[in-house]
Amino acid sequence: MEKEVVSTAAAPAAIGPYSQAIKLANLVFTSGQIPLDPATGTMIAGGIEEQARRVMENIKAVLEAGGSSFAKVVKTTCFLKDMNDFAKFNTVYQEYFGSDGAPARSCVAVAELPKGALCEVEAIAYID
C-alpha cells in the first residue's frame, strides 16, 4: 500500500514539516488547519467565528484536493485556544456538518496553537 501526498494551492501551504493531507487507500487524513489565508499564508483578521470559518474552508479545500468532501468525514479533532469559544465555534462548525450524522469528534482546549490561532481542525475522511 502506497501513501500519497495531497497538495493544493486552494489551502494554505504547510508552515512546517507536514503535508496538507495524506491519502492511504480510500482514506484522507488532513493535517490540522489553522486560519491562514491560502493566498497569502497569513492569519486572517477576526475572532473565533471568522477563524473557524476560514479553518473549515481550508479543510474543505484539502478534502476536495484529496478526492473527498465534508459529507465523507468520519472523525475530526478540534483544538481551541479558549474553551469559552466552544459555543461560537460549534455554531460555525455546524454550518458545515449539520448535527444529524455529524462526524465523530474530539474537541480540546490547548495552551497555544501555531501563529497564535484561536482554533485548529483536522479531519479523517473516506473516498468512494
Number of residues that bind ligand C=C(N)C(=O)O (CB under 6 A): 7
15: contact with ligand C=C(N)C(=O)O by CB under 6 A: yes
Q: Quick check: 110 and 116 in contact, CB under 8 A?
A: no
34: contact with ligand C=C(N)C(=O)O by CB under 6 A: yes
28: contact with ligand C=C(N)C(=O)O by CB under 6 A: no
d(C-alpha 125, C-alpha 8), whole Å = 17
Which residues are CB-contacts of 17 (< 8 A; sequence separation ≥ 6)? Answer: none
Minimum gap (Å) between residue 31 Cβ and ligand C=C(N)C(=O)O: 4
Minimum gap (Å) between residue 99 Cβ and ligand C=C(N)C(=O)O: 26
Q: Quick check: 34 and 84 in contact, CB under 8 A?
A: no
Active site residue 119: no
Catalytic residue of the set 10, 22, 27, 107? 107
d(C-alpha 88, C-alpha 47), whole Å = 10
d(C-alpha 96, C-alpha 112), whole Å = 25
41: contact with ligand C=C(N)C(=O)O by CB under 6 A: no
Residue numbers annotated as active site: 107
